[in-house]
Amino acid sequence: MKKTGLLLAAAVLGLSALSTGANAADCEIKIGGIAPLSAPGTVVGGEAMRDAMLIAEEDINRAGGILKCDLKVVIADSEGLPEKAVAIMEKLITQDGVVAVGGGYHSSVGVASKDVADSRGIPVVFAETWNDTITGDKQKYIFRIAPLSSWASSTIWKHALELPVKKVAILTENTDYGIPAAEETTKGLNSGNIEVVTFSVDIGTQDYAGIVERIKAGNPDMIIVLATGEAGYNFTQQAADAGIGPQDIIFHAGQVSLESKAYWENVPDGNYAFVQRIGVPENLFNDKAKAFAKVYKERTGKDAVESYAMEAYDSIAILAQAINEAGSTDGDKIVAALENIDHDGTLGRIYFPYGTKKDPSADSKGDEWWHQWPDPALTVIQYQEEGQSSVNSPIVFPDAYKTGDPVIVKK
């Protein structure tokens, strides 16, 4: 790499130009990367996060590594299960020797594993775990760049309030994500005098025939899916087969539906579904996001970059910058650097305004804002053509990012 290119890579990653060189020293610093790579976890999401974290590893090493050492991202499969999350966090710390941890998709994984990391003084930047209590416990070593569940839920129900809807059926999972998300969504919908009926299932459920018939009998105007993973595909297509899918009534699909190729393969009758997305549209990507998107698409063969892939990339890059700025792999020093960080991420400028130096209560914020990035963009897209990429689908909510009007399906 030419010197100017190397310095640019260092600047983009937030690394010191003094630490750059043709090759890092003959040493290795390990950061853990948690992702669901086996069922019942969201495997397509986990694979996206794994690929993104490995790209981050390559970029960071190309820019000089961490403390003049090579970075090694140690990927661990959470399977989307709390008990597995505890075990892999213990292994990453005690056997693999990681100095920090990034990634994380399922809220239940974050809720279960954060205490292990915090008790051992290992900093974690969670990428895609939404449950409010993950940061709400105000633990010293726990940070998050995903949106709060209560905040993300508000995007869904506020969008629903703009639609011709009087009765909503929610399909949610019995997890640390699904339960509070359904509660927050219900509360918001009720504020607009919308009736809500919730149906709960276990994570990884495959057969929805009974629930689909119960939902159909209730005659809702809209269905909202708050279930993670490939199971969301199964429910959506089974609902479509029964005449209550995205082409039949207003339908908000699960976030995994952003995986356009997998979505259309599993849900051929999924046109007109709404899907929530984190981050700005691709035409508003910053330079770092554009560079990552190019490599990610080439590596995976995809035509779109999922928000959780970008979050996973940023979680590793943020930790690398913090360790370099701390000049140490000591957990306390990394935390101090994270609390002062100003990171140019693929998702935008990332920082943490609340922590040991300033409690959220100082600005009348709840404890959940502790070590929480406050600025992720939240939008709703709609598939309006069969086989359409989620990147090329119009953003229909909110007005600040709107690129097209929604197509309203009538019963």
Q: Which two tokens stand for residue 395?
A: 């953003």
The residues with which 170 forms a beta bridge, in sequence order, are 198, 224
Which pLDDT value is given to residue 203?
Answer: 83
C-alpha distances out from residue 228 to 29, 132, 182, Å: 32, 17, 13
- For the chain, the structural domain boundaries read 3-149+285-369, 150-281+379-401
pLDDT at 19: 37
Q: Extract the runs of DSSP E, i.e. beta strands, from 330-375.
A: 343-345, 348-350
Give the whole-angstrom CA distance, residue 304 versus residue 346. 14
Question: What b-and-e string marks burial along 113-134, b requiring 16 or more CB atoms within 10 Å of the CB?
Answer: bbebbbeeebbbbbbbbbbbeb
> What is the CATH number that goes with domain 150-281+379-401?
3.40.50.2300
Instruction: Please check whether the two domains, 3-149+285-369 and 150-281+379-401, share a CATH topology.
Output: yes
**Token pair 């299932």 is at which residue?**
201
Which of 105, 112, 62 minimizes the C-alpha distance to 83?
112
Q: How many CB atoms lie within 10 A of CB 348?
A: 21
- Specify which residues 379 forms β-bridges with: 277
Q: What was the pLDDT predicted at 282?
A: 85
pLDDT along the chain (411 residues), means of 10: 38 42 67 96 95 98 97 97 97 98 96 98 96 97 95 94 97 92 96 97 91 97 91 93 98 92 95 93 91 97 91 98 98 98 97 97 97 94 95 92 93 73
Please name the residues in contact with 400: beta carbons below 8 A apart, sequence gap of 6 or more.
none
pLDDT per position as a tens digit, 335-353: 999 999 999 999 999 999 9
Mean confidence (pLDDT) of the chain = 92
Q: pLDDT value at position 256?
A: 87
**3-state SS track over 221-259:** CEEEEECCCCHHHHHHHHHHHCCCCCCCCEEEECHHHHC
Q: Of 72, 24, 77, 33, which Cα lies nearest the Cα of 52?
A: 33
What's the pLDDT at 23? 44
The residue with tokens 């969201």 is 42
**Alpha helices (H) along 99-177:** 107-119, 133-136, 149-161
Cis peptide before 40 (omega within 30 of 0): yes
Instruction: Decide if domain 3-149+285-369 falls under CATH 3.40.50.300.
Output: no
> Side by side, which strands form the sheet with 222-226?
195-201, 167-173, 222-226, 250-253, 274-278, 378-382, 395-397
Tell me, what amino acid is at 164? P
Helix, strand counts (H, E) of the chain: 13, 14
Determine how β-strand 250-253 pairs with β-strand 274-278.
parallel
